[in-house]
Amino acid sequence: MKTIATRFVLLTTALLLLTSAAGAQGTDFSKIEIKPTRITNNFYTLEGSGGMIGVLTGPDGVLMVDAQFAQLSDKIAAAVKTLSNGGQIKYLVNTHVHGDHTGGNENFGKMGVTIFARDELRNRLIKPNPNANGTPASSAPAAALPVVTYSGKLVFHLNGDDVELIPIAVAHTDGDTLVRFPRNDILMTGDYFRSAGYPNIDRANGGSLKGMIEGLNVAINLCGPNTKVIPGHGATVDKSGLVAHRDMIMAVRDKVAQLVRQGKTLEEVVAAKPTSDFDSKIPGIGTTGDRFIGQLYAELKTSN
């Protein structure tokens, strides 16, 4: 027979599990509205819940970048229809595998949208990492899987633009794509650049610090004076926003590297606050600072 103390521990554990599940899936999607922002004559962003969506409209059909969560697909499709005078989404590009960018894939796939992504992303949808509690995660359904995959640059010629899908080898994940709209002078980076919070190097999904810096340099070199840089999360910026972000990553990296060389533990590195020079300049930090320090520590520790 269980003691009261044991029952209490079990109850607390159950509550904790419930709380963390609610944290991951606690969004009430019925309350989320899709907010469009006009960037150019025929390009819009859509904000709802999750990663930023890009929509290129025109007579050749709609190309959409990223899909947010499955619960929002109908609202997203309705918003696109309004923006494009009744147009249909023809193509969907996934910038990376995370659920707040690919969650709508299955719904859009069933609507007849052709999904494009890197081979690595498709493989991760088929064989996802185990769940946080160690249980195996299930494969994405067939309709959610990209139909066209690529390992080099791919170009869509439509709606007066020449949209380039540019693979960024291993940055936020190992399946990142930078989407460039040269005529509209727009870059969409997915999450390997974010203007809200600190970077997220998802090492479990193949991301790397070195690749993230290289990817930022690719984007910086593609920027002209008026290029609009649309991140996976956060406000649209210009070239200077990308440069400041890259320089911040390198500055924090150098501080963490020095502490790693001194043999500090992760706890000691976090306590040394290596991001303190930047904390007041970065909006929406939340817990991303400590996460970023942990990721830098893990990468620099193994490369030492």
- List 39, 45, 94, 98, residue binding Zn ion (CB under 5 A): 98
120/161 with CB nearer Zn ion: 120
How crowded is residue 122: how many other Cβ atoms within 10 Å of its Cβ? 22
Considering the complex, what minimum distance in angstroms separates the CB of residue 185 from Zn ion? 24
| Binding status of residue 253 toward Zn ion by CB under 5 A | no
| Binding status of residue 122 toward Zn ion by CB under 5 A | no
Considering the complex, what minimum distance in angstroms separates the CB of residue 149 from Zn ion? 19
Give the residue carrying structure tokens 């193949």: 206
Considering the complex, what minimum distance in angstroms separates the CB of residue 108 from Zn ion? 18
Across-strand partners of 161?
158
How crowded is residue 285: how many other Cβ atoms within 10 Å of its Cβ? 17
- List 191, 211, 223, 270, residue binding Zn ion (CB under 5 A): 191
- Cβ 52 vs Cβ 233: under 8 Å: yes
Stretch that binds Zn ion, among 15-23, 53-61, 83-91, 191-199 (CB under 5 A): 191-199
| Binding status of residue 118 toward Zn ion by CB under 5 A | no
- Cβ 67 vs Cβ 92: under 8 Å: yes
Stretch that binds Zn ion, among 26-34, 180-188, 189-197, 267-275 (CB under 5 A): 189-197
| Binding status of residue 176 toward Zn ion by CB under 5 A | no
Contacts of 253 (CB under 8 A, 6+ apart): 209, 296, 300
Number of residues that bind Zn ion (CB under 5 A): 2
Q: How many CA atoms lie within 13 A of 188 on its CB side?
A: 29
5/24 with CB nearer Zn ion: 24
- Cβ 288 vs Cβ 198: under 8 Å: yes
Backbone angles phi, psi at 165, to 5 degrees: -100, 115
Specify the DSSP class assigned to residue 72.
Answer: G
Cα–Cα distance measured from residue 250 to residue 216, given in angstroms and rounded to the nearest whole number: 11
Across-strand partners of 187?
180, 229
How crowded is residue 112: how many other Cβ atoms within 10 Å of its Cβ? 9
Considering the complex, what minimum distance in angstroms separates the CB of residue 202 from Zn ion? 7
120/191 with CB nearer Zn ion: 191
Considering the complex, what minimum distance in angstroms separates the CB of residue 138 from Zn ion? 20
174/191 with CB nearer Zn ion: 191
- Cβ 270 vs Cβ 290: under 8 Å: yes
Structure tokens at 46: 């859509």
Stretch that binds Zn ion, among 70-78, 114-122, 132-140, 184-192 (CB under 5 A): 184-192
Nearest to 262 by CA among 272, 249, 247: 272
- Cβ 125 vs Cβ 145: under 8 Å: yes
Rg (CA), the chain: 20
61/128 with CB nearer Zn ion: 128
Stretch that binds Zn ion, among 58-66, 95-103, 203-211, 264-272 (CB under 5 A): 95-103
Stretch that binds Zn ion, among 11-19, 38-46, 97-105, 244-252 (CB under 5 A): 97-105
Stretch that binds Zn ion, among 82-90, 96-104, 132-140, 221-229 (CB under 5 A): 96-104
73/102 with CB nearer Zn ion: 102
Considering the complex, what minimum distance in angstroms separates the CB of residue 192 from Zn ion? 8
- The footprint of Zn ion (CB under 5 A) covers 98, 191
